[in-house]
Amino acid sequence: MKVVLKNLTKKFQSRHTKGQEVIAVNNFDFEIPDGQLIGLLGPSGCGKSTTLNLISGLETPTEGKILFGEEDVTELPPEERGVGLVFQNYALYPHLTVEENIIFPLQNLKGDKKMTREAMHQKAVETAKLVQIDSLMNRKPKELSGGQQQRVAIARALVKIPRVLLLDEPLSNLDARLRLQTREELRRIQRETGVTTIFVTHDQEEAMSISDLIIVMKDGVVHQIGKPQEVYDEPANLFVAQFLGTPQINVFSGSVRGEKLYIGNEAVLDVPGKEDREVWVGIRPEGFIPDENGPFTCNMDRVEVMGRDVSVVSTHPQMTGQSIRSIISSENRFEPGQKTIRFRLKPHKVYLFDRESEERI
């Protein structure tokens, strides 16, 4: 089921200043295609969870519409929207067993959708098998690990076969190893069920690794929508460029003069077709190539060995962050006590942003 958001806006009364409004979701206008896994990505407090609550119906929008397929669900209460929602803390009912938890949504069905006890059990087992917890059916949630609880929560959200599955920070309560495993699992479950799935995360790596499409937002505004690689390779603005990628993109203040890009006094790159102006220069860590005759000189700080690669930490007077991180092959050798390092830059890893609007040039 495709999900369409039309001019969706949600304003809250500010808790601190009376009468003032906080815009949690500002004029969202996009379409989420059917059967895909979508990552809603942004820093804390950017309105991700509010967006999810709006889609689920737990919150009502101030303005705008939400459509599932062609059906307008804006006015529908959550139970009639046919959504499955997985909470960040899973919200498993602690006094019910795994099976009772999974069956709970089925027991609420009314009218001709009503199911027999046997059919509900069948359905629960089927769903539990999908998320591989069918051997834990009689346990209580507290007897399960975090990862298992998460699967129960997903099973409970899926058992009614929702039109849209929503997950709020699904991996944030898991430890690092489990997180990797679970995100593959999420991908698999989504593929097998084909349910349009939207998950919220502040972890860009998580979003990039499993999403078909990511939506990057900040302060209630959508900054970019696209396939993960596209968004990474072609960030729309400085925020998106900085938010995606670890280590973070390195940002310098620079200027374009005579179709050459200057950082400090050095012309580091040819930028044909760009007019003269002050810019922010973003260079991805993998965009540096060590070269004794390279045009870009940095002050060497230290080298961090990461095995396959090394991370060179250096500084430059024009940088905006604490240091510059460049990831290069470990085949490069560095002399101890080396004071400076010179780089060539890969043109497609260098992005220019307007100094004022911070939009990509």
Partner 1 sequence: MKKNNLKAWLYLLPAILFLGVFMVYPLIDVCVYSVEENYNFASQSFTGVGFGNFHYVLSDPYFTQALKNTFIIVAITVPLSTGLALLISLGLSSIKRLRNAFQTIYFLPYVTNTLAVGLVFMILFKKTAYTDGMVNLLINKFGGSSVDFIEGPYWAKMFVMCFYTIWVVMPFKILILTSALASVNQDYYKAARVDGATSGRIFRKITLPMISPTVFYLIITGFIGAFKAYSDEVALFGTNLNAAGMNTIVGYVYDMLYGDSGGYPSYAAAAALILFAIVFTITYINLTFSRNKVQYM
Query: Which residues contact partner 1 by CB under 8 A?
Result: 56-58, 77-80, 83-85, 87, 89, 91, 93-95, 104-105, 107-109, 142, 156, 160
Q: Which of 63/79 has CB closer to partner 1?
A: 79
Residue number, 142 or 177, with CB nearest to partner 1: 142
- Cα 81 to the chain's mean position, in Å? 25
Question: What is the separation, in whole angstroms, between the first and last Cα of the chain?
Answer: 36
Q: How far is the CB of 36 from partner 1 (least distance, A)?
A: 21
User: Smallest distance, Å, CB 131 to partner 1?
Assistant: 17
Using the minimum distance from each CB to partner 1, give the nearer residue, 106 or 222.
106
Chain centroid to CA 101: how far?
29
| Number of Cβ within a 10 Å radius of residue 306 | 9
Alpha-carbon span 346 to 233, nearest angstrom: 13
Return the number of the residue (97 or 297) whose C-beta is nearest partner 1.
97
Closest distance of CB 191 from partner 1, Å: 23
CB atoms within 10 A of CB 265: 8
Q: How far is the CB of 39 from partner 1 (least distance, A)?
A: 21
CB of 339 to partner 1, least distance (A): 56
Shorter beta-carbon distance to partner 1: residue 30 or 93: 93
Residues pairing with 299 in the sheet: 315, 340
Least Å from the CB of residue 196 to partner 1:
16
Q: Which is nearer to partner 1, 77 or 258 (CB)?
A: 77
* Nearest approach, Cβ of residue 338 and partner 1 (Å): 55
* Contact (Cβ atoms closer than 8 angstroms) between residue 353 and residue 360: yes
Give least dist CB 297 to partner 1, A.
Answer: 54
**Token pair recorded at residue 361:** 């040039």
The Cα 266–Cα 353 span in angstroms is: 18
- Smallest distance, Å, CB 128 to partner 1? 16
Q: What gap in Å lies between CA 14 and CA 23, rounded to an integer? A: 9
From residue 122, how far is each of 115, 125, 127, 132 by CA, in Å?
Answer: 10, 5, 9, 15
Nearer to partner 1, 85 or 98 (CB): 85
For residues 117 and 191, which CB has a smaller minimum distance to partner 1 in the complex?
A: 117
CB of residue 230 vs partner 1: minimum separation in angstroms?
33
- CA pair distance 238, 241, nearest whole angstrom: 5
For partner 1, the closer of residues 15 and 339 by Cβ is 15
Query: Considering beta carbons, is residue 101 or 148 the nearer one to partner 1?
Result: 101
